[in-house]
A = this chain, B = another copy of it.
Amino acid sequence: MMFGAIEAGGTKFVCAVGNEVFEILDQITISTTSPEETMPRVVAFFKPYIGEIKAMGVSSFGPIDVTKGSDTYGYITNTPKVKWQFFDFLGYIKQHIPNVEITWTTDVNGSAYGEYMFREDTKDLVYYTIGTGIGGGAISNGHIIEGVTHPEMGHVPVRKHPDDVFAGICPNHGDCLEGLASGPAIEARLGVNSKDIPASDPYWDIQAYYIAQSAFNTSLFFSPEVIIYGGGVMKVEGLQDKVREQFEAINNGYIDTPLLEEYIVTPTLEDTAAIVGCFAMAKQQIK
């Protein structure tokens, strides 16, 4: 049995075909430009596999509509990417790739589910990506947490670091987590891309303070076994250690977490978490 996977990111789409043990058999990367340009290339990739693929998992940048029965279920909704606003993603796929069962969730939920599949003894985890935006996905007892819509853990209000005078760039909340600690926020604050800020720069203490607050909030709300921070910004050397130190200070002995080195971590499946998650969601759907 074969499965399809689409990881629809804000910068690039990854499309893949895999087998029952989630090995990638074929894969393509496509730039995220406009639905008119990007989507026909997605369909072209899957065309040879129509009939072979029984189910497909799609994890998309958001916000997206995940409410079954809603008029815009399967749409990307009010995204800042104007060309993708209220694009009927699922409708397009169903029209062009018929007779395939499709599961649809956010990009971070896809990655969270992939990490969950990979970590055999883990039932509860939260996965964040800290990049162009900040998003989080939670798995509780093996299930993706969704309610009226999907979580939006990147927009949690945080306390300002006393040395940080930056006002934040979130158009809705200004200095929420995403407004202060996403890649574009760092670039707006310091005038350089976060990749070009050396690991020794004192800014990373400020960044760690915000991520540590996110980890603390996450612990209070979900009590997960592990919190995984992926995304470009988190690759800075030493940043995870700083986050753990600040977490310890904020928690002040209150919550009894697992060993911090095993609790606040980077992804195991760095680049393939969402694809594995999509395969797994697809397989789950067939079951």
What is the total number of residues of chain A having a CB less than 8 Å from a CB of chain B?
42
Q: Is the CB of A124 within 8 A of B152?
A: no
A26, CB-defined interface residue at 8 Å: no
Q: How many angstroms from the CA of A223 to the CA of B153 in the assembled complex?
A: 10
Q: Please, which residues of chain B bring their CB within 8 A of the CB of A219?
A: 152
Q: Is the CB of A147 within 8 A of B223?
A: yes
A244, CB-defined interface residue at 8 Å: no
Neighbour of A150 across the interface among B148, B158, B223, B252, CB < 8 A = B223
Q: How many angstroms from the CA of A220 to the CA of B220 in the assembled complex?
A: 13
A251 CB → nearest B CB, Å: 8
Quick one: which of A121-169 are within 8 Å of B by CB? 123-124, 138, 140-141, 143, 145-153, 155-159
Q: Please, which residues of chain B bring their CB within 8 A of the CB of A153?
A: 220-221
Q: How many angstroms from the CA of A254 to the CA of B223 in the assembled complex?
A: 26
Q: Please, which residues of chain B bring their CB within 8 A of the CB of A148?
A: 124, 223-225, 256-258
Q: How many angstroms from the CA of A173 to the CA of B248 in the assembled complex?
A: 12
Q: How many angstroms from the CA of A159 to the CA of B158 in the assembled complex?
A: 8
Instruction: Please give the count of copies of this chain that the complex contains.
Output: 2
A253, CB-defined interface residue at 8 Å: yes
Q: How many angstroms from the CA of A140 to the CA of B216 in the assembled complex?
A: 20
Q: Please, which residues of chain B bring their CB within 8 A of the CB of A258?
A: 148
A208 CB → nearest B CB, Å: 15
Q: Is the CB of B254 within 8 A of A155?
A: yes
Q: Please, which residues of chain B bring their CB within 8 A of the CB of A118?
A: none
Q: Is the CB of B252 within 8 A of A172?
A: yes
- Residues of chain A touching chain B, judged by Cβ–Cβ distance below 8 Å, are 123-124, 138, 140-141, 143, 145-153, 155-159, 172-173, 213, 216-225, 250-258
| Inter-chain pairs besides A152-B223, A156-B220, 17 sampled, C-beta below 8 Å | A124-B147, A138-B221, A140-B140, A140-B145, A140-B146, A148-B225, A149-B255, A149-B256, A153-B220, A153-B221, A155-B220, A155-B254, A155-B255, A157-B159, A172-B253, A217-B217, A221-B221
